[in-house]
Amino acid sequence: MAVNPRPTPTAITAMKPADLDDVVGIERLSFRRPWSRQMFAEELGRQWAHVDVLREDGEPRVVGFINYWLVRDEIHILNLATHPDCRRRSYGAQLLLHVIEFARRHDCRYLTLEVRRSNHAALRLYRRYGFRQVGVRPKYYVEDNEDAIVMLLELW
């Protein structure tokens, strides 16, 4: 009988300017219409914006990130991605749980996000942690006219 390897310890921290290259690289590998380096750099200066990065313990390279906004009593998740070489290691779940805990610490009522209708892996992840579909944005993704599923997690 095969033994499952122990999960790799990870660390999640706020993105710093030195992390931009790694984050932009993951973004380009993950999305059809990626954010630019400038867009991520601008997030660093916005009081309401947060980009948190995940590293495998002791490693300098960023292997995942989550970008979210805190607006009053709501968190809006804009991007969540892991490097393709590091997928299926629960890093996306760790980042999502990190933001859910952040929302609880800040007494947020809701977390919201949009996800491509065809992104079944992401939909499964969000549903696993209690998000539910509350709407559809028709043809939201302009590059291919794909619908976005609007999802909501109510914390209280």
Told to judge if 110 belongs to the known catalytic residues of this protein, a careful annotator would answer no
- Which of the residues 110, 114, 140, 141 is marked catalytic? 114
Told to judge if 129 belongs to the known catalytic residues of this protein, a careful annotator would answer no
- Which of the residues 56, 68, 91, 126 is marked catalytic? 126
Kindly state the DSSP code that residue 32 receives in the 8-state scheme: S
Q: For residues 48-86, b (16+ Cβ closer than 10 Å) or e, as one string?
A: ebbbbbbbbeeeeebbbbbbbbbeeebbebbbbbbbeeb
CB 66 within 8 A of CB 95: yes
Distant-in-sequence, close-in-space partners of 154: CB < 8 Å, separation ≥ 6: 109, 110
Query: What positions carry a catalytic annotation?
Result: 114, 126
